[in-house]
Amino acid sequence: MQRILLTFFIFLSSSSFGQNNPSFIDTLFYGKNGLKNKIPGIGISIGIFKEGKTKFYSFGNISHISKQKVDKNTVFEIGSNTKLFTALLLAIEIKKGKIPESAFIDSYLPNEVILQPDLKNKIRFTNLASFSSGLPTLHDDMYDSLLLAKDALQPYKFVDKEYLYNILNNTLKVPNYGRYEYSNLSYGLIGAILENFTKKNYADLLQNNIFKQLGLRNTWTSIVKGQNKAGGYYESKEVEYLQLNALSPAGIIKSDAVDMLKFIKYQLHPPNNALGKAIVLTQHIFANDIDIKTGLGWHILNNDMHEAFYVMQGDTIGNSSLLYFDHKSNTGIVILINQSNHDLTGVLLDYLIKGIHVDK
């Protein structure tokens, strides 16, 4: 797969773009070095918002065994892009005045959690949401390795709230506090705390506070209804939906390109209400490490012109996704694919950004 990606990347980087949008998309899908020839079996759904116009493009079938074509309404797992929604739930509570923006998590934790001295009055909610808490991550760390050893395909099914709280109890110090470390644990904790604090389950919080408010009608936390849902593949092997248990707030959502692009458009143009104020808050910089800034959920990077853009990638064992927007150019992009391929979504984003800005 790495060799395929390298060839594909070289093609995308050196390819000349067409004079109109469909031309460079067609090259991406059907060109000599495009997806059809280089990554057969892939199913992809793309949404682009540019200059007030919305366009959708799709390629391939929903699975290797189905003849049904991917379209803009095909539902994919969005993986860690779920964190953007969890961060927004937190921002909603902050803007309501229910949780102070600078609040430490200590008093919001259940009685069974006894923080070690070095952790008391140190970890803020905004540290959790901006990947700067210094806590264990449940992402490429010791805990993650132990879970993968138990079940390589479904490691997180073992993670309940007690598991999360035990990690807190057993953490003595946070030497990397304030530094960027991508984390699943932090979002599991945010979700658990919000459930306890509001006395509502995570799915209901999403449905009532975000999905209904933004008109996201094909976005799910449960089993997807209907037949238009993407299969999932890891190294060409079919896999099931990721089971997340208490880590659901880190990656449980499934959605389509229509709803996700709608979500992106609200990032670019927040509504003039309480939810809009919460959306704006998630885009503020809460952590600034050496080469990356983070908001609440969002990664804030600079392009070649030193202009900020916002991006988040999500991967499950079978699907990958990417959400992107740029205030300066008023542009948003959604990429959904039916295989776990983090690198590919990044390569595709680079290609699409160049293409839509050449297309005038």
More confident residue, 332 or 235: 332
Q: What is the largest CA-CA distance in the chain?
A: 62
Q: Does residue 20 carry a pLDDT above 60?
A: no
Taking only the tens place, the pLDDT of each residue in 217-267 is: 999 999 887 889 999 999 889 999 999 999 999 999 999 999 999 999 999
Q: Does residue 333 carry a pLDDT above 80?
A: yes
Q: Report the percent of the chain where pLDDT is more than 90.
A: 83
Taking only the tens place, the pLDDT of each residue in 24-75 is: 898 899 988 888 888 989 999 999 999 899 999 999 999 999 999 999 999 9
pLDDT the model gives residue 307: 84
Taking only the tens place, the pLDDT of each residue in 117-126 is: 999 999 999 9
Mean pLDDT for the stretch of residues 175-183: 97
pLDDT the model gives residue 114: 97
Taking only the tens place, the pLDDT of each residue in 281-310 is: 999 999 999 889 999 999 999 887 778 999
More confident residue, 358 or 79: 79
Least confident range from 161-165, 212-216, 220-224, 281-285: namely 220-224
SS3 per residue for the chain: CHHHHHHHHHHHHHCCCCCCHHHHHHHHHHCCCCHHHHCCCCCEEEEEEECCEEEEEEECECCCCCCCECCCCCEEECHHHHHHHHHHHHHHHHHHCCCCCCCECHHHCCCCCCCCHHHCCCCEHHHHHCCCCCCCCCCCCHHHHHHHHHCCCCHHHHCCHHHHHHHHHCCCCCCCCCCCCCCCHHHHHHHHHHHHHHCCCHHHHHHHHHHHHHCCCCCECCCCCCCCECCCEECCEECCCCCCHHHHHHCCCEECHHHHHHHHHHHHCCCCCHHHHHHHHHCCCCEECCCCEECCCCEEEECCCCCEEEEEEEECCCCEEEEEEECCCCEEEEEEECCCCHHHHHHHHHHHHHHHHHCC
Read off the pLDDT band of 9 (50, 70, 90): very low
pLDDT the model gives residue 226: 80
More confident residue, 328 or 224: 328
Q: What is the pTM of this model?
A: 0.94
pLDDT the model gives residue 10: 42
More confident residue, 250 or 3: 250
Q: What is the pLDDT of the chain when averaged over all its residues?
A: 92
Domains of the chain (ranges; CATH) run: 2-81+207-358 (3.40.710.10), 82-200 (3.40.710.10)
